[in-house]
């Protein structure tokens, strides 16, 4: 129902944003409860609120908290569809959890280290309830050398490649990509991954460095091997940076981790510093503190710097978070944002080197900057750095 109604709704008004932020958490204090109830007394554009929640994948938390705090303040024609969607997503989460529990033993039988992350396992471990975190697919991380055997196992469960058409190109994809997408005729989706970071912003010893600590989580009646929250505090900022922190859901994940003050923050700080991803972590912490009012654990706060670049990146995210999204908002963040998210000079230099060919490839902006007859089009390789330098000067 909502999908047909929200397309024409303005989602930029402040009361709707404030209410979504107030509901975007698992722990509701009496003070927060009073704020939520007060916000619902305003003249709200309920469809704008729904559109925001859908865009940021926070419908479960929105419904749960409105229903518990002030269901009498929510119009019936809003609360009823919210409830139906919540129940559907809860059922879907249960199906995903059961599917994960069904597939994982096959990897173990073949001696493959296969670690699920995000999805139902993160929802259970971090939110304490499968139904409170939206997820539409399964994500399984393996080592690159195990991809050929792993993909064969997945296909035994009825999945097909979504994009790979020729198995002969599998080795090439393992070298040049980070994931394989699978689908099944019943609509089930699965991503087999062998790196947490993208090629654009690769991290040393990924994923091996992150697959050294595990804990056991009870999921769908079975004990499942899970990454601990300390590791999630490292890999979730990497994942969120890829998407320029474009969904509030990504920030909620960090906020929920920060609400566990007893974690081994010394390990987190040491690993983040050694891997050169501390700035990514700092941006996530700043956003969680600013938007979701999280108190940063003292051990963690003492080890973070929050320099000018980090604060500028967080401000850039905050500025665009509730604007109308562009057509490709789910894609990768722009290269300058990812580049500035790395604090070490040699990491930035490596990123520039790895991405130099694509950065030098002329595009339509160069043709608009200086029209040249088609016969002389190779000259655009010289025009591009001139155009890029000019834009940097003017901006």
**pLDDT tens across 360-378, in order?**
677 778 888 888 887 777 7
> How many angstroms separate the CA atoms of 304 and 289, rounded?
13
What's the first-to-final CA gap in the chain, in angstroms?
A: 43
How is residue 62 written in tokens? Answer: 């929105």
> How many angstroms separate the CA atoms of 377 and 384, rounded?
11
Interval 14-34 mean pLDDT:
96
Question: What's the pTM value of the predicted model, to 2 decimals?
Answer: 0.88
How is residue 267 written in tokens? Answer: 């390990």
Beta strand 179-183 pairing with 189-193:
antiparallel
- As a whole number of Å, the CA-based R_g of the chain is 22
Model confidence pLDDT, tens digit, residues 29-62: 999 999 999 999 988 999 999 999 999 999 999 9
Phi, psi of 338 (to 5 degrees): -65, -35
The domains of the chain are located at 1-74, 93-227, 228-355, 361-395
> How many angstroms separate the CA atoms of 89 and 138, rounded?
14
Beta strand 115-116 pairing with 138-141:
antiparallel
- Sign of the alpha-carbon torsion through 19, 60, 313, 356: negative
| Domain 93-227 coded CATH 3.90.1150.200 | no
DSSP state of 144: G
Output 28 or 380, whichever has higher pLDDT.
Answer: 28
Model confidence pLDDT, tens digit, residues 203-247: 999 999 999 999 999 999 999 999 999 999 999 999 999 999 999
pLDDT-derived band at 7, boundaries 50, 70, 90: very low
């Amino acid at each position: 129902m909502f999908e047909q109604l929200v397309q024409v709704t303005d989602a930029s008004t402040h009361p709707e944003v404030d209410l979504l932020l107030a509901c975007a958490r698992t722990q509701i204090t009496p003070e927060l409860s009073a704020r939520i109830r007060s916000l619902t007394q305003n003249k709200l554009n309920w469809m704008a609120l729904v559109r925001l929640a859908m865009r940021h994948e926070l419908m479960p938390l929105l419904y749960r908290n409105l229903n518990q705090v002030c269901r009498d303040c929510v119009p019936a024609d809003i609360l009823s569809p919210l409830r139906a969607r919540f129940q559907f997503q809860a059922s879907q989460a249960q199906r995903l959890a059961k599917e994960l529990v069904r597939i994982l033993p096959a990897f173990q039988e073949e001696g493959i280290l296969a670690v699920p992350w995000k999805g139902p396992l993160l929802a259970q471990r971090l939110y304490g309830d499968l139904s409170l975190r939206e997820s539409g697919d399964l994500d399984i991380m393996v080592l690159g050398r195990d991809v050929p055997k792993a993909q064969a196992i997945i296909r035994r469960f009825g999945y097909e490649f979504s994009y790979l058409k020729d198995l002969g190109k599998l080795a090439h994809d393992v070298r040049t990509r980070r994931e394989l997408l699978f689908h099944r005729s019943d609509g089930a989706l699965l991503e087999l991954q062998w790196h947490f970071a993208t090629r654009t912003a690769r991290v040393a010893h990924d994923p091996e460095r992150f697959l050294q600590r595990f804990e056991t989580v009870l999921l769908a009646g079975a004990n499942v091997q899970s990454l601990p929250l300390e590791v999630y505090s490292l890999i979730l900022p990497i994942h969120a940076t890829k998407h320029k922190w474009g969904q509030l859901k990504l920030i909620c994940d960090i906020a929920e981790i920060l609400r566990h003050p007893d974690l081994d923050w010394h390990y987190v700080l040491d690993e983040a510093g050694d891997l050169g991803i501390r700035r990514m972590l700092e941006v996530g912490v700043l956003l969680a503190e600013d938007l979701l009012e999280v108190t940063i654990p003292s051990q963690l706060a003492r080890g973070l710097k929050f320099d000018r670049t980090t604060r500028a990146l967080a401000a850039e995210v905050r500025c665009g978070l509730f604007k109308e999204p562009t057509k490709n908002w789910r894609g990768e963040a722009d290269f300058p944002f990812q580049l500035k998210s790395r604090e070490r000079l040699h990491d930035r230099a490596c990123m520039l080197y790895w991405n130099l060919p694509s950065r030098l490839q002329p595009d339509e902006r160069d043709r608009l900057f200086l029209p040249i007859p088609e016969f002389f089009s190779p000259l655009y390789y010289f025009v591009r750095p001139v155009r890029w330098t000019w834009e940097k000067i003017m901006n």
